[in-house]
Amino acid sequence: MSRVSSGFVSFSSGSIRKRSPFITRLALALSFVAVIIITFIALTVFSSNRLMNKKGNVVTNVPSNILPSYSATSFESIDGQTALQGWFFKTKNPISTIIVVHDSGSNRLPFGVEMIDMIEGWLENHYNVFLFDQRNCGTSGGDCCTYGYLEWQDVVGAISIVRQISVTTDVILFGIGTGCTSSVLAYTYLPPEGASEQDLAAYDKNVRNLGFSKSYIAGMVLDSPAKETDDYIKPEVVRTEPLGFITQFAVPYAIRVSSGSSNVSLAAEIARLPIPVFIIYGGHDTFIGADKIDQIITERSRLNSSITKSIMVSGAGYLEEYSINKNLYIETVNDFLNAYFLKDE
């Protein structure tokens, strides 16, 4: 009995000794995987926080004597929590009001002092102009940048204040970079004209109580629109963040979760817009991708060719069209405005 017992003990000990190297290797492998996962999560959180905390520049070095006359305006985003600042330029007998929606990290003068030439041209052609800083940009409030996922509420707030201070009966949104996301989502999240009380019940109360619908947006100019809302974030992650080529898909997801949003097909939304749309982009855009913008234009033209115009500025990269060829930029935008909004005398 004792020999059997002894043999049994000896057998078990041998088994343990044989398994120990395997268990050790497995533990090391699992530890290595755990370190990789923890590092990946840490990098994602770090990058998401850094990008969302990116502060837009304040407008500086603009001599007051070269700016057309304007009224400084304070208003709120429709979230009711974010104070925003803007400038309202008024002209005689205005046709409509152009609201400029800047790129993330920018401000109410996205092309700097050089943009004054375009503003003066709009005023001469009888368009009021409204420039404003989106949240966490310029002199506006807010402490996070969400690349359009929440900024669309700022755009709707801008439309709301324009309705109060302008005599025009509609607005034209001019989205630049992520401002395209803000502008398109603003249109998407507004109720349709003539929506019933039952239909309005499906909308957020801040939207239901606005007193206007999609029909108040008469047209859009989109400078460098992306196919999806995340497409503005991915290349930024790759370009600026540690190991961004690995976290480029996780960081946009984290930003979406933080803003309580979901990825949106901007290409599909732009294609369906029942209003005149003008798309501008650079032929050397490798940030969004000129080929991807071509696809947006193709689909948009297939569905709404009669109310679609576009221009590619050769030699220009992402958001470089204005600096590369300012005259062409201003001229083609004005041609679009005259083609669709100029009223017969």
Give the model confidence (pLDDT) of 146-168 as tens digits: 999 999 999 999 999 999 999 99
Residue 3 has pLDDT above 60, yes or no: no
Pairing between β-strand 127-133 and β-strand 83-89 as defined by DSSP bridges = antiparallel
Q: How far is CA 230 from CA 48, 55, 93, 149, in A?
A: 13, 19, 40, 10
For residue 19, what pLDDT is reported?
Answer: 57
pLDDT at residue 18, rounded to an integer = 53
pLDDT of residue 15 exceeding 90, the answer is no
> Which tens digit of pLDDT belongs to each residue from 43-71?
899 999 999 998 888 887 777 778 999 99
The reported pLDDT for the residue numbered 335 is: 97
CA distance to 76, 125, 144, 249, per residue, from 252 (Å): 26, 40, 14, 6
Is a pLDDT exceeding 90 seen at residue 197? no
Give the model confidence (pLDDT) of 217-266 as tens digits. 999 999 999 999 999 999 999 999 988 999 999 999 999 999 998 899 99
What percent of the chain has a predicted confidence (pLDDT) above 70? 94
Instruction: Please tell me the distance from the alpha carbon of residue 73 to that of residue 63, in angstroms, as a whole number.
Output: 19
Global pTM? 0.90
Q: Residue 16: pLDDT above 50?
A: no
Predicted pLDDT at 267: 97
Angle in degrees, CA 284, 290, 294, rounded to 5: 145
Confidence of residue 344 (pLDDT cuts 50, 70, 90): low
Strand-by-strand arrangement of the 217-223 sheet:
71-76, 83-89, 127-133, 96-101, 171-176, 217-223, 277-282, 308-313
* Distances, alpha carbon 321 to alpha carbons 71, 161, 193, 329, in Å: 29, 30, 35, 7
